[in-house]
Structure 1
Amino acid sequence: MSTRLTVQRLGAQGDGIADTPRGPVFVPFALPGETVTAAINKDRADLIAVIEASPQRVEPTCRHFGTCGGCELQHLEEGAYRTFKRETVVTALRQRSLDVDVEGLIACPPASRRRVTWTALRTEAGMQLGYRKALSHEIVDIEEDPIAVPAIEGAIDLVRELAGVVCATHDAFRLAISATASGLDIAVSGAGEMSAARRQKATQFAIAKRLARLSFEGEIVVEPQKPQILIDDIAVNLPPGGFLQAVEVAELAMADLVTAHLRKAKKVADLFAGIGTFALRLARHSSVHAVEGEAAALAALDRAFRHAAGLKTITSERRDLARRPLTWKELNGFDGLVFDPPRAGAEDQARQIARSDIRYVAAVSCNPATLARDLSILVEGGYRLISVTPIDQFLWSHHVEAVALLEKPKKRR
C-alpha cells in the first residue's frame, strides 16, 4: 500500500526524511521539498513515484541508480551535493562544540576510483557481479560502474568471468580490484576452497588476461607483474589486498594539506602509516617514524624507501595502535605528527597526543563523527584547531573524508 509523503530534509546517510505523525520516515532516493508516494515499512519506505520533483533533482549518471546500493546521491545537483557533504563535517564538529571554519569540499570527478570491491554470487541464471542493494543481501548485476577508472569499468565482464573460475561456494564472495601502473590487481575473499585444479585454471586465466596479480585470501596465486603505484614519484609495490586510497586526486589533496602543515617539523611521526601515503612524501623534508599494524604494508613502505633517492630517514615500527598507542613520552621526541586511523578513529591515541608537546598535528579521517571526537580531545589538551577540509573520495555516497590541522603553542621555558 502506497502513502503520499512530503520530504523535508536529507539525513546523514543521504536518505530523504519525511516527518509523519508516527515519526520520521526515511525514503532513499528522495530529495527535500519533493512530494512522493512510497511504501512504508516501520521507519523506512521504498520510493514508488516522485509526484512533485525538487529543482535540485538531476538525471542520474548510472543506469543502475535507484536499485544499486553503491550510490545514494547521483540524483542531487552538484552544488547541493557539495553542500551536503560539507555540512556532514560541519554538523559533526558542531556536536562536539568545535568552532572552526570548514573549507569548501574538494571534489573528485567521475571515473576516478582506482580501487573498488564487487560482490559475486553464482545463480541458476549465471554469475552475478556488482554491489548489494541498500539494506539487502541482493546483488545488483552491473553492466557499468561510472565511479571507477576506465581500466576497472572496462573489466566488468572479465571479473565476472574470473568469479566463475574461482567460485567454490553457494554464498556471495568479494573481489577487490585495484588499478595499478602494472595492470589490475584482484584479491578474492570468501570464494570457497581453492583446489589444485581451480588454482591452475585461475592461474591460466590471470596470465591470459594479463592481470598484474591474482590473490586468494591474502595468498598470491599468480603475479606476472608486481602491482605498483607511485607515491610522489616513488614506486611502491602493493601487498595482496593492501589498503590503497580509493581516488588518486583525493590522496593528492590530502597529502598537500598534510605536508604543507608539517613542513617545519624536523622529526615526524606517521601513525596508521599504511604503505607510506604520507611518510614517503614527508621524508622529502623531515625524518619520519612510520607506525602501522600490518606487516605487509610496512614491508612495502620499507622497500620503497630503500629504493628511493633523495629522502631523509624513514624508520618503521609494527604496532597495533588501537591496543597499544604511542605514549605521550614517546611522542615528545617528535615535533610533527599525522594520523589516519580506520573509521573507528583513534580515541586512546588522541589522548596521548593531547598530553604531548608535539607542535604540529594533522588528523585525517573517513568518519566525521570519530574525527570530531578525537579533535575535541586534542583541543581539550591545548591544541588549536586551525582548519578542517572535507574531501570527496566516495563519489555520490554520503561518505566524506576530512583533513584537520592543529597546532600547540610552544611551552615557555
Structure 2
Amino acid sequence: MAETLTITRLGARGDGIAEGPHGPVYVPFALPGEVVTAEVDGERGRLVSVETASADRQAAECPLFGHCGGCAAQHVAPQLYGAWKRDIVVQALAHAGIETDVSPLVDAHGAGRRRVTFHARLIEGKAAVGFMAARSHALVPIAQCPVLAPGLAAAPDKARALAALILPRGKPLDIQATETLGGLDMDIRGLGKADDRLRMTLVEAARTLDLARLSLHGEILIERRPPAATMGPAAVVPPPGGFLQATAAGEEALAALVTEACAGARHVADLFAGCGPFALRLARQAKVHAVENGAEALAALQRAARNTQGLKPLTTEVRDLFRRPLLPLELDRFDAVVLDPPRAGAEAQARQIALSKVPLAISVSCDPGTFARDARILVEAGMQLTRVVPVDQFRYTHHVEVVGVFTRPAKHKNKGKGGRP
C-alpha cells in the first residue's frame, strides 16, 4: 500500500527512517528531510518516488545503483555521508554505555577496492558474474564497478572466462580477485574437487588470461608471478584467498593510526596479525610479537620479514586467540597490544587485557558493535578510551572501520576489574 512518508534520519544500514503510526518504517534510498511515496509492508518501505528532495541528494555514480546490492549510499552527498558513518560509531558506543569524543570520518577509499568477490552463476545457459541484488539471492551481472581499483578493471571479464569453464558442472561459484604488484590473483571457491583434466584447463586459462596466480579453494594451481602487496617496508605474498584490507589507502590509514599510538613502545604484541600489515610497519620502531591462527598467513609474514632490511626482532606464534587468548602474565611483558580481530570481535582477549598490566591497547575493528562491546570491558577495568577514529574504506556501504586507543592510568596499572592486586 502506497503511503506518503517524511524521512527523519538515516539508519545504520543507510535506509531512510520515517515514523509510522505503528513504529519506524525503513525506506532504502530515502534521505532525511525528504517527503517520499513508498509502498509499505510492515516496517519495510519500497521507494516509489521522491516528492520533496533533500539538498543532500546526489546523482548515483553507477547505473546499477538501487538494483545491485553492493552499495547502499551512492545517493548521499559527502557531508551527510561522513556524518552518517561517524554516527554509526557514536551510536554503537552509546549503546554500550560509553561516552567519548569520536573523530571525523577518515576517507580511505584511495584508488578503490583492491579485492572483490564475484558470484558466478549460469543465466540462460551462459556464465554470468556479479553481485547479489539487495536483500536477495538474485545475481546482478556486472561488466565494471566504479568502486574497484583500476587494477581490477578487467577482473569481471576474467572471472567470467574462468566461470564458463566450470559452471556447466552445475555448482555456483565465488571467485575472489585481488589486485597485486604482479597482476591479478584469483581464487575459485565452490567447485569442490576437480579432476586433473579440469585443473590443466584452468592452468592454461590462467596463462591465457595473464593471471599472476590462480588457486582453487586456496590450493595454488599456478603461480606465474608473485602476487605481492606492499606493507610498509616489506613486500608480502599473502596465501591464496588471504585477507587484505579492502583498499591500499585504508591499510595505510589504519597502520598510521596504529604506529602513531605505539610511538615510544619498545615491545608490541600484534594480535590477529594476519600476514603483517601492522607488524611489519611496527617492527621499524619496536620489537614485535605477531600472533595469528592462520599458519600460512604467518609464514607469509615471516618470509617478508626475512627479506626486509632495517626491522627490529619480529617473532610469530600460531595461536587461536578465541580459544586461547594471551593471559595476563604473557601480556605484561609488552608495552602495547594491538588487536585487529574479525567481525566477531575479541571479547575473550579483551577480558585478559583487562586483567593485565599492559599500559596501552589499540583496537582495530571492522564492526562498531563488537568494538563497543570489547571497549566496554576495557573501560570497566579502568582503561581510558582516549581516541576513536572511524575510517571509511568501504565507500557507499554501511561498513566502517574503527581504531580505538586505550590507555591505563598509573593508578590502574596494577589492577584490572576483578584483577590481581
Same fold (TM over 0.5): yes
Which residue in 1 is equivalent to 2:390?
A: 390
Which residue in 1 is equivalent to 2:27?
A: 27
Which residue in 2 is equivalent to 1:331?
A: 331
Label 1:2 to 1:198 Cα distance change in 2 as closer, same or farther (>3 A): farther
Which residue in 2 is equivalent to 1:401?
A: 401
| 1:192 CA drift (Å) | 4.5
Which residue in 1 is equivalent to 2:419?
A: none
> For the residues of structure 2 that align with 1:30 and 1:257, how far apart are their CA atoms?
34
Question: In the alignment, is the contact (CA less than 8 A) between 2:233 and 2:281 conserved in 1?
Answer: no
Structure-to-structure mapping, 1:376-387, within 5 angstroms: 376-387=376-387
> For the residues of structure 1 that align with 2:185 and 2:156, how far apart are their CA atoms?
14
Question: In the alignment, is the contact (CA less than 8 A) between 1:167 and 1:192 conserved in 2?
Answer: no
Structure-to-structure mapping, 1:46-65, within 5 angstroms: 46-65=46-65
Question: In the alignment, is the contact (CA less than 8 A) between 1:168 and 1:193 conserved in 2?
Answer: no
Structure-to-structure mapping, 1:154-169, within 5 angstroms: 154-169=154-169
Question: In the alignment, is the contact (CA less than 8 A) between 2:110 and 2:250 conserved in 1?
Answer: no
Which residue in 2 is equivalent to 1:260?
A: 260
Structure-to-structure mapping, 1:268-287, within 5 angstroms: 268-287=268-287
> For the residues of structure 2 that align with 1:297 and 1:407, how far apart are their CA atoms?
29
Which residue in 1 is equivalent to 2:372?
A: 372
SS in 2 for 1:351: helix
Structure-to-structure mapping, 1:105-120, within 5 angstroms: 105-109=105-109, 111-120=111-120
Question: In the alignment, is the contact (CA less than 8 A) between 1:110 and 1:147 conserved in 2?
Answer: no
Which residue in 1 is equivalent to 2:341?
A: 341
SS in 2 for 1:244: coil
The runs of 5 or more residues in structure 1 that have no matched partner are: none
| 1:40 CA drift (Å) | 2.5
> For the residues of structure 2 that align with 1:324 and 1:235, how far apart are their CA atoms?
30
Question: In the alignment, is the contact (CA less than 8 A) between 1:68 and 1:133 conserved in 2?
Answer: yes
SS in 2 for 1:104: coil
When the two structures are aligned, how many residues end up with a matched partner? 413
Q: 1:56 corresponds to which letter in structure 2? A: D
Which residue in 2 is equivalent to 1:17?
A: 17
Label 1:111 to 1:36 Cα distance change in 2 as closer, same or farther (>3 A): farther
Q: Deviations over 1:135-155 (max 9, x none)?
A: 100011112211100111233
Query: Normalised by the size of structure 2, how large is the TM-score?
Result: 0.95
State percent identity of aligned pairs.
47
> For the residues of structure 2 that align with 1:241 and 1:67, how far apart are their CA atoms?
27
Query: Normalised by the size of structure 1, how large is the TM-score?
Result: 0.96
| 1:130 CA drift (Å) | 1.0
Q: Deviations over 1:222-272 (max 9, x none)?
A: 111121011113111110110001111111111111111112111110000
Structure-to-structure mapping, 1:137-152, within 5 angstroms: 137-152=137-152
Structure-to-structure mapping, 1:30-45, within 5 angstroms: 30-45=30-45
> For the residues of structure 2 that align with 1:50 and 1:362, how far apart are their CA atoms?
44
Question: In the alignment, is the contact (CA less than 8 A) between 2:109 and 2:393 conserved in 1?
Answer: no
| 1:321 CA drift (Å) | 0.5
Q: 1:365 corresponds to which letter in structure 2? A: S
Which residue in 2 is equivalent to 1:96?
A: 96
Q: 2:350 corresponds to which letter in structure 1? A: A
Which residue in 2 is equivalent to 1:180?
A: 180
Question: In the alignment, is the contact (CA less than 8 A) between 1:19 and 1:25 conserved in 2?
Answer: yes
Question: In the alignment, is the contact (CA less than 8 A) between 1:168 and 1:192 conserved in 2?
Answer: no
Structure-to-structure mapping, 1:71-90, within 5 angstroms: 71-90=71-90
The runs of 5 or more residues in structure 2 that have no matched partner are: 415-421
Question: In the alignment, is the contact (CA less than 8 A) between 1:85 and 1:400 conserved in 2?
Answer: yes
Which residue in 1 is equivalent to 2:224?
A: 224
Which residue in 1 is equivalent to 2:132?
A: 132
> For the residues of structure 1 that align with 2:10 and 2:171, how far apart are their CA atoms?
34
> For the residues of structure 1 that align with 2:167 and 2:378, how far apart are their CA atoms?
48
Q: Deviations over 1:292-339 (max 9, x none)?
A: 001110110111111111111111111111111111111011111100
| 1:24 CA drift (Å) | 1.7
Q: 2:113 corresponds to which letter in structure 1? A: R
Label 1:388 to 1:218 Cα distance change in 2 as closer, same or farther (>3 A): same
Q: Deviations over 1:78-124 (max 9, x none)?
A: 01000000111111112222222111111134641101111110121
Question: In the alignment, is the contact (CA less than 8 A) between 1:166 and 1:194 conserved in 2?
Answer: no
Deviates more, 1:26-35 or 1:223-232: 26-35
Which residue in 2 is equivalent to 1:305?
A: 305
Deviates more, 1:57-66 or 1:108-117: 108-117
> For the residues of structure 1 that align with 2:371 and 2:12, how far apart are their CA atoms?
15
Q: Quote the RMSD (CA, aligned, Å).
A: 1.5
Structure-to-structure mapping, 1:202-241, within 5 angstroms: 202-241=202-241
Q: Deviations over 1:50-73 (max 9, x none)?
A: 222211110000111010110000
Label 1:392 to 1:230 Cα distance change in 2 as closer, same or farther (>3 A): same
Label 1:272 to 1:78 Cα distance change in 2 as closer, same or farther (>3 A): same
> For the residues of structure 1 that align with 2:170 and 2:162, how far apart are their CA atoms?
16
SS in 2 for 1:64: coil
Which residue in 1 is equivalent to 2:418?
A: none
Deviates more, 1:76-85 or 1:136-145: 136-145
Deviates more, 1:308-317 or 1:15-24: 15-24
> For the residues of structure 1 that align with 2:155 and 2:374, how far apart are their CA atoms?
40
Q: 2:178 corresponds to which letter in structure 1? A: S
Q: 2:403 corresponds to which letter in structure 1? A: V
| 1:158 CA drift (Å) | 2.0
Q: Deviations over 1:348-398 (max 9, x none)?
A: 110100111111211100111111111111111121111000000111011
| 1:172 CA drift (Å) | 2.9
